[in-house]
């Protein structure tokens, strides 16, 4: 039980210290008559207020009455053996895998993740 609590504490601290990459787009209003009902994203797609979506570029976005905010939906490995291992991004899973350079079927230990 102590080990579980220690792991939970480490996880909660690491999540709060993460450094996700985010951006904000000011409101480009979607109108229905005189009523503003949502936002247009960078591709010109309309989104209603208080909606959330994930892009094909692995961003999690939301529309509010002030605009659209998007953040990366994945963490980046930053502390692993770079001589022996390589990080590979899986676009389908929106996640990095850290594997041995010589044998991609073997995973490597990662000590820190950012994002």
Q: What is the pTM of this model?
A: 0.67
Buried b (16+ CB within 10 A) or exposed e, 20-55: eeeeebebeebeeeeeeebbbbeeeeebebeeeeee
* pLDDT tens column, 53-83: 999 999 999 999 999 999 999 999 999 999 9
Work out whether the CA dihedral 79, 83, 84, 90 comes out positive or negative.
positive
Domain annotation for the chain: domains and CATH numbers: 19-72 (2.10.70.10), 76-114 (2.20.25.590)
Q: What distance in Å separates the CA atoms of residue 80 and residue 37, rounded to the nearest whole number?
A: 46
* pLDDT tens column, 34-51: 999 999 999 999 999 999
């Amino acid at each position: 039980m102590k080990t579980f609590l220690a792991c939970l504490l480490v996880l909660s601290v690491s999540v709060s210290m993460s450094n996700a990459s985010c951006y904000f787009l000011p409101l480009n209003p979607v109108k229905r008559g005189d009523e503003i009902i949502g936002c247009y994203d960078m591709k010109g797609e309309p989104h209603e207020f208080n909606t959330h979506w994930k892009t094909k570029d692995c961003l999690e976005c939301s529309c509010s009455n002030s605009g659209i905010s998007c953040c990366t939906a994945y963490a980046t490995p930053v502390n692993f053996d770079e001589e022996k291992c390589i990080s590979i991004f899986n676009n389908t899973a929106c996640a990095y895998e850290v594997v041995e350079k010589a044998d991609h079927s073997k995973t490597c230990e990662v000590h820190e993740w950012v994002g």
